[in-house]
Amino acid sequence: MKGTQKIKVEINCTAAQLNLIQHALDVYSRLGSGQMEELENHWGINEFQINKHTHEGETNFADYHEEKDNFRQFINAYKNLLFMMAPNASYGIHADAISDTCRQSWDIIQVIRHEVWKQDPERSNFGVNAYPASRSSEKEELITVKITQDASTNSK
């Protein structure tokens, strides 16, 4: 398979798994734009930290927050070293410094987000989900996504 060859991929997943796919793509695009702070919000890292500071059903939040503060300082130092940016600063998705793979990731998120929005019978016509994705990648076209529900899941 060549990188530019169009292929059709079918993924069968739960809504939670689709949400995780979107989150992974979101973290990828954000880290690539310098938003290292997203590591603090990484679902797996947060879960690990909580479990690490929980013993016999009790969470030591003082130690947890001290570790989070130390982690934040480390992230800010690493961000400054790597991107020469202050905390909470980042590149925009169209910045020349951003890898196009980060833009591709962002584009995929937008397409999925809009398709999920279209499936919601109680959707609002306001907000970013209501608008079709716009292409930010200079190398790849937008993907297409079709969300269907398996008839067996609707039989209840």
pLDDT in tens, 12-65: 999 999 999 999 999 999 999 999 999 988 888 989 999 999 999 999 999 999
pLDDT band at residue 153 using 50, 70 and 90 as cut-offs: very low
Q: What is the pLDDT of residues 92-123, one digit of tens each?
A: 999 999 999 999 999 999 999 999 999 889 99
Tell me the C-alpha distance between 144 and 115, whole Å.
9
154 pLDDT higher than 50: no
Cα three-residue angle 143-145-149, rounded to 5 degrees: 165
Residue 101 token pair: 């793979």
Domain coordinates in residue numbering, the chain: 7-33+91-156, 35-90
Q: Yes or no: say if 79 and 36 are a contact pair by the CB < 8 Å rule.
A: yes
Looking at this protein, which amino acid is placed at residue 124? Answer: S
Answer whether residue 155 shows pLDDT above 80. Answer: no
